[in-house]
Amino acid sequence: MAIKIYKRNHAGRRNMSIVKPDGVVEKSPEKKLTVSLHRLFGRSHGKISVRHKGGGQKRRYRLVDFRQNEHLDIPATITALEKDPNRSALIALICYENGAKSYILATNSMKVGQQVVCGVNAPVNPGNRLPLKNIPAGTTICNIELLVGKGGQIVRSAGSQATLMSLDAKHAQIKLASGEIRLVNKECYATLGQVSNFEHGVEKLGKAGRSRWLGRRPHVRGSAMNPVDHPHGGGEGRQPIGMNPKTPWGKPALGKKTRRKKKASSRVIVKRRK
C-alpha cells in the first residue's frame, strides 16, 4: 500500500494525497452484482432532514455479501480486489467452485488467487469466515454478526479490527477498537483478520471540491451565524460559545450523553467504551 502525495503545483494540490492500495485493479464492477443507487441526499419529502448532504458523483451500489451463508464450506478464489465508492474498505470479487460470484469485504491479507472459505469446518486462516465458537481466543476478527444469520454488522470500516477475548457457555466476549467489551452469541460468524485499506484515514482531500464529489456540502460554524439562526450566534466580534453548547434547535450538544438508559443492548455490554 502506498500514499501518493501530489506536488504543490497550485492551491488545490497543496497537501493533497491519495491512497493507492496494493493489488487493486481499475475495472468496471461486475454488472450482475450492482444495482442503481437512489440517494435522497438528506431529504425527507423534499425538505432537508440532515444538513450538509447533497450532490456528489453518481454511483452504483455493489451488492456485498456480509453473510456468506449460501455457499457454506465451498472454497472460493479471489479474482479481483476493487475499490467501492460506497465504503472506505476494499471489496473482493470471489468465484466459488460451483461458478457463483459475489463480493465480500476484503481483509488486509487478501490477495488475488487466494482461496477463502466460510463454514463451521473452515481452517483458521486470515480471510476465512467461521462461527465465533470455532475461533481461538486472542484472534483478530472483523465483519462480526450481532444476530445469528443476519450478516456482519460491526467492525466493517477500513482498518478496523476487534479481538476475541474469551468464550463461555453461550457467548463470546469481544473487545472493540473503542475499548468496549461486548457479549455476542458464539453461534454468530466473524471474518478472521483486519479490514483492508487501513491507511484510508491519513488521506488528505486537499481541496473543497473533493468533498463535494463525495456528497458533502459546506459546514458553517454556529458562532459565525446571527442570533436568529443559531444559539451560538451574534455578539460583537468573536465570542465564545459559553458553558452550555447547543444545537441549532436548542438541544444540549458537545459531550451530552444521549444513550437511552433502558436500551436493550446495554445488558450485553460488559465494559463501556472510554
pLDDT tens for 90-136 read 999 999 998 999 999 999 999 999 999 999 999 999 999 999 999 99
Q: What is the pLDDT of residue 39?
A: 82
Is pLDDT above 90 for 274? no
* Cβ proximity of 93 and 84 under 8 Å: no
Under CATH, what is the fold of the domain 2-201? Answer: OB fold (Dihydrolipoamide Acetyltransferase, E2P) (2.40.50)
- What's the length of the chain? 274
What value does the mean pLDDT take over residues 159-186?
Answer: 95
Q: What is the pLDDT of residue 267?
A: 94
What value does the mean pLDDT take over residues 56-70?
Answer: 94
| Grid cell of 108 as nine digits | 488486509
Average confidence score pLDDT of the chain: 93
Q: Are strands 115-116 and 101-105 parallel, antiparallel or unpaired?
A: unpaired
Contacts of 263 (CB under 8 A, 6+ apart): none
pLDDT in tens, 188-197: 999 999 999 9
Q: What is the pLDDT of residue 22?
A: 87
SS (H, E, C) 143-169: CEECCCCCCEEECCCCCCCEEEEEECC
What value does the mean pLDDT take over residues 193-210?
Answer: 94
What value does the mean pLDDT take over residues 182-203?
Answer: 95
* Cβ proximity of 41 and 53 under 8 Å: yes
Secondary structure class of 265 (helix, strand, coil): helix
Q: What is the pLDDT of residue 172?
A: 96
Percent of the chain with pLDDT over 70: 100
Largest CA distance in the chain: 71
What value does the mean pLDDT take over residues 18-47?
Answer: 91
Is pLDDT above 80 for 216? yes
Is pLDDT above 90 for 65? yes
d(CA 103, CA 66): 9
What value does the mean pLDDT take over residues 208-213?
Answer: 94
Give the homologous superfamily in CATH for domain 223-274. Ribosomal protein L2, domain 3 (4.10.950.10)
The band of 53, judged by pLDDT with boundaries at 50, 70 and 90, is very high
* Cβ proximity of 94 and 113 under 8 Å: no
Amino acid at 230: H
Number of Cβ within a 10 Å radius of residue 261: 6
Q: What is the pLDDT of residue 194?
A: 97
The band of 47, judged by pLDDT with boundaries at 50, 70 and 90, is very high
| Grid cell of 176 as nine digits | 472493540
Give domain limits for the chain.
2-201, 223-274
Q: Indicate the burial class of 178 (C-beta count within 10 angstroms; 0-12, 13-18, 19 or more).
A: exposed
